[in-house]
Amino acid sequence: MIRGRYAPSPTGYLHLGNAFTALLAWLQIRREGGVFVLRMEDIDRDRSRPEYADAILEDLRWLGLDWDEGPDVGGPCAPYVQSERLSRYESALDRLLEEGRLYPCTCTRAQLKAIASAPHGLGSEGPAYPGLCRGRTLTDELRQSRYSLRFRMPDEPVSFRDGVFGEQTFPAGAGGDFVVKRSDGLFGYQLAVSVDDAAMGITDVLRGEDLLDSTPRQMLLLRALGHPVPRYAHVPLILGDDGKRLSKRHGSVTLRELRQAGVDSRRLTGCLAHWAGILEEPEPLAPQDLIPRFQLSAIRKTPVVFDDAKRRGLFG
Ligand SMILES: [Zn+2]
């Protein structure tokens, strides 16, 4: 039985880009009769708001999606909210530390900025960490001070076959040694996602292309923790007509705003499926009716540009 998930962060209302990914992730799992999990990724306490978490569930339901396990319906892998899973991340860190996979880093942001940018930076997260603290160990003295924990990237390339983008190979150490726990105590995104995907038995991850370069790091963490690695499929992003990622600048793009403006949810899901490449014409179809049409191989590889014509299409 395959298991997939949609894992939103409650830092704002769902927009068209989120809906696009959620719909495709749901279709992939429903097509195979698998289990669909909803996980709330709220470890960034400064940016997460409970009212957004509630709104996300409401908007997903309006879109016509459902889930078998999640914060509101429970399930065998509960809790499905990251802020309630912190002890699991701590145990994973203990294990990685014991096995010498992590090291403490005391570099300040200013120090790192002063160093000439390293060549292997990944687009999404700035320049790669140059490894200044690689030789450090966590002494009792250091435990009293402020430090972050970094994962030691192994000296080997990472390859995987993406369900949409095909063969991917990242050079050894791509992105540099990354932070798994910040000096302020916040757990790293890569760590939390990997621990949760493993604990929730996720076999298939479908998510936005912006996370493609996170995949090798998550694979390495999963392997280091002795877990199987899921299959990955990344789908293109939806961009505004200026080529930038969809945001408030592009007018009404949240599901909330579109719903209030009178957009029908079936028309919206039909359009999303058409933009994705799995529906020839943007006919109004509920997610349920799209299940037999879903094909991973049909999904386009280039970004979707949300222009005026597409906006008009949402209103029929
Ligand atoms: Zn350092």
pLDDT in tens, 30-89: 999 999 999 999 999 899 999 999 999 999 999 999 999 999 999 999 999 999 999 999
Cα separation, 151 vs 134, in Å, equals 10
Q: Check pLDDT > 90 for residue 115.
A: no
Q: What is the pLDDT of residue 117?
A: 53
Q: How far is the CA of 174 from the centre of ligand 1 (A)?
A: 17
Q: What is the pLDDT of residue 154?
A: 94
pTM, to two decimals:
0.95
Q: Widest CA span of the chain, in angstroms?
A: 66
Give the tens place of pLDDT for each residue, 218-256: 999 999 999 999 999 999 999 999 999 888 888 889 999
Cα separation, 163 vs 235, in Å, equals 9
Cα separation, 163 vs 175, in Å, equals 22
Q: Which amino acid does the sequence have at 59? A: D
Q: Check pLDDT > 80 for residue 120.
A: no
Which residue of the set 113, 181, 244, 248 is catalytic? 248
Q: Check pLDDT > 80 for residue 122.
A: no
Q: Check pLDDT > 60 for residue 118.
A: no
Mean residue pLDDT of the chain comes to 94
Q: Which uninterrupted H or E stretch holds 87?
A: helix 86-98
Displacement of CA 237 from its chain's centroid (Å):
12
Crossing angle of the two packed helices 50-63 and 16-31, in degrees rounded to 10: 60
Q: What is the pLDDT of residue 113?
A: 77
Q: How far is the CA of 125 from the centre of ligand 1 (A)?
A: 16
Q: Check pLDDT > 80 for residue 142.
A: yes
Mean pLDDT across the stretch 254-264? 97
Q: Which of 102, 297, 72, 295 lies closest to 190 in space, CA to CA?
A: 102
Q: Check pLDDT > 90 for residue 175.
A: no
Q: How far is the CA of 260 from the centre of ligand 1 (A)?
A: 49
Q: Is residue 116 very low, low, confident or very high in pLDDT (cuts 50, 70, 90)?
A: low
Q: What is the pLDDT of residue 192?
A: 98
Q: How far is the CA of 103 from the centre of ligand 1 (A)?
A: 9
Q: How far is the CA of 108 from the centre of ligand 1 (A)?
A: 7
Mean pLDDT across the stretch 260-289? 97
Q: Is the dihedral of CA 126, 232, 253, 259 positive or negative?
A: negative
Which domains does the chain show, CATH number per domain? Answer: 86-192 (3.90.800.10)
Q: How far is the CA of 209 from the centre of ligand 1 (A)?
A: 29
Q: Is the dihedral of CA 265, 41, 151, 197 positive or negative?
A: negative
Q: What is the pLDDT of residue 128?
A: 83
Q: Check pLDDT > 60 for residue 119.
A: no
248 counts as catalytic: yes
Q: Which amino acid does the sequence have at 199? A: A
